[in-house]
Amino acid sequence: MELVSAGARLTEGMLRKCMLNRELSWLQFNERVLEEADDPENPLFERFFFLSIFSSNLDEFYMIRVGALRDHVINKTGVIDNKTGMDAAAQLALVYGATERLYVNRDIVCQKLESELSREGVVRLNPLYGAFEKRYRRLADSFFDNQIKPRLAPQIIDASHPFPHLENNRQLIALSLEAKGGKTVFGIIPLPGGVERMYFPADGRYILAEDIILEHCDAIFKHYKLSERAIIRVTRNADIVAEAERFDEDEDFRDHMTKLLKKRKRLAPVRLEIRGANCGKLAAYLQKRLSLTPAQTFYSTSPLEMSHYLSLGGKLEPRFHARHSYAPFDPVNPAYASSYAETLRRVRSGDLLLSHPYEGIQPLFTLLRGAAEDRHTQSIQITLYRVDRQSKLVDLLITAAENGKDVFVFIELRARMDEENNIVWARRLEEAGCKVFYGPESYKLHAKICLVTRRDGMRQEYITHIGTGNYNEGTARLYTDVSIITARGPIGADASLFFNNLMLGLHDVNANYGFICVSPQGFKQRLIGLIEKEAALGERGLIIIKCNSLTDRDVIAALAGASCAGASVRLIVRGICCLKARIPGLTENIRVRSVVGRFLEHARIYRFGAGEGCVIYIGSGDMMTRNTERRVELFMPVLDAAIKKRLCAMLDVVLRDNVKAREMGEDGLYSRVSAQPGANAQPYDKNVSAGGDRLESQAYFLREAAAASGSVSARNIINRGPVFSLLTNISSFIKRRRAQERSQT
């Protein structure tokens, strides 16, 4: 690969020293999520939430990333990781080893959390590792006989009963049995649907349905001698690439995706999980039938499916919930957002910045609701990638279409794990009269933009919304994102050209945009150019980037080149980071940090230069090759001086976080930032004042928004101190966490 000029001084060998493997970097990120589950400063139920998210993250990683690597091995594609030079088989070996360690750590954390919960009087009865007390056994027997047994479909596997299809990530009971004559047979019991997973036989005591079934296996297979039993789960490859599948041009793409989703359910297994002891014969049998190796088999003492922890709090006494959960926080909505006329007036007088979840998305809803009724509205155009399952925003688009407005919706049907939801919304929008388009054939449409076009007499007006996060009300309360609403004509003209290019299939040409940048042609070149400009300033150069992942080799080379030139590079990368920081002579001027906290850090902010003259972009894409080369992404420059100053201040706060931040060392591993007096307290920008010694960025932004709202609950958040300021109402916690769980899986 030819390196960009900023990294031209770096040889291939030098560049390799600066880079980490993508898969191992992601596993490190998920380990940071697990660390939050182990952090005693977090409320107890929130720690269970982090534990559940860690597990669901790992599920998706195996379905997508490991599934893709397995395909490369099976198909002998010869694909090599361009950061480390490893082939797919070598990467998988390291992934399996790292995963095994994570399972051990997860079991330790889960046991620790359940022990803490038991001291509060809430106990999970676990027959797999200890017998029930008699009184609980009688109650469990009754629940089994009345609620579970009628729904069971146990099966023997032999010549007359073939090995069944094991559904992706569905828990089952697997058994090794001895028939008459000493013949070994195997049995399967799928967990039935429609059964409450948690059964509470007494106050504070609960049993999982799979454990109750496990206790009754002797009775279910009473004609056999039970030798081994375990709860198992099989994870299947879900990495279907729509472009790689045969597609008839006369076929509707929505129908094509529907067929692919059905195919996904039967793809090859990539992981076997076993919860049980002394089941070597059973494990060997399952590995053989599923074509899996021992390295792909992981043992756990914890529940294999942890979503029940999200709803556990809702089963208990409300004051108990409040004591062990984050304080509820309602996003702040400005007063002008209650009126369409006032929202228009405010955006005409200057750009509006929204910082989610600290501030709500009501200004956008007010704008769309008013536009749907406004006789001067000509059209509404929007891109949709991930949409809430109960979306008010989609309802507003439908209302606008029913009112005779031209509504153009560009929806990406290949949004991984949200495909079915997007297909449903595409049908509904189309039926309501919206003009629905799908993402381009060769690129995923990941841009986040909405354009309202108005005409009053001879005057045409654009109102444009561009952001870093999806148009999803659920995640807007859980992810940190920023967005800008602007009435600037040049930005609106660019937005109009962008939508025209989408309709004409010109998304991959270097269009003549005046201000915005669009991938795959525009942003990478602009980004590298801005990096090189700061590199040319030497020690006076400053680059601060906040994103979710960094994998693009060209960008890594440019950043390393800027470091070699003496520029200061500060990267806030939540997840995957393939750039290794602090290497003497190579990346010694680069610092990489990751913040994992109450909210999922999701904003993409790119800053170049120090002081008021800096250049800032916000947009939809990360510095990953998929974003820079294989997706339609959109970025806009921040033109409003006040918004630019505020974004600089926000970046500075995150860079001074010494509670939830981890920094990468020279070895590529992360460690928590010290909160020692004076540590990390100095700002990176002279226009930002230094804070106190202890700074948790998300708590800081919560207090900032709370102070702006002036509400009683807001004042409580400010006054309770660093730990208790984040405790209370579990009902709100459950609702929001379920929404996040749906959006991430």
Retrieve residue 442's tokens: 């060769």
Handedness of CA 486, 492, 494, 500 (dihedral sign): positive
Task: Give the HSE-up count for residue 417: Cα atoms under 13 Å, Cβ half-sphere.
Answer: 15
Retrieve residue 706's tokens: 């709370």
Q: Write phi, then psi, for 677 (nearest 5 degrees).
A: -50, 125
CA-to-CA distance for 578 and 592, rounded, in angstroms?
10
Q: Angle at which helices 730-744 and 44-61 pack, to 10 degrees?
A: 10
Retrieve residue 608's tokens: 């170049």
As beta bridge partners, residue 617 has 606, 637
Identity of the amino acid at 219: A
Which residue, chain included where needed, has tokens 């002998």? 76
Task: Give the HSE-up count for residue 726: Cα atoms under 13 Å, Cβ half-sphere.
Answer: 20
Where helices occur in 181-278 by DSSP H, the ranges are 209-215, 217-220, 253-264
Does the annotation count 446 as an active-site position? Answer: yes
Instruction: Classify residue 566 by burial, with Cβ atoms within 10 Å: 0-12, 13-18, 19+.
Output: middle
Retrieve residue 697's tokens: 């960025």
Q: Which of 446, 465, 507, 602 is catalytic?
A: 446
Q: Coil, strand, or helix at residue 380?
A: strand
Where helices occur in 574-721 by DSSP H, the ranges are 625-629, 641-655, 697-709, 712-719
CA-to-CA distance for 279 and 158, rounded, in angstroms?
19
Identity of the amino acid at 664: M
Distances (CA, A) of 566 to 15, 187, 563, 573: 17, 65, 5, 21
CB within 8 Å of 581: residues ≥ 6 apart: 571, 587, 590, 591, 592, 664, 665, 666
Q: Which helix (H) or strand (E) holds 445?
A: strand 444-445
As beta bridge partners, residue 208 has 198
CB within 8 Å of 699: residues ≥ 6 apart: 598, 659, 722, 725, 726
Please state whether beta strands 634-637 and 568-573 pair in parallel, antiparallel, or not at all (unpaired): unpaired
Distances (CA, A) of 366 to 333, 336, 685: 11, 9, 35
Q: Angle at which helices 419-431 and 253-264 pack, to 10 degrees?
A: 150
CA-to-CA distance for 355 and 698, rounded, in angstroms?
12
Catalytic residue numbers read 446
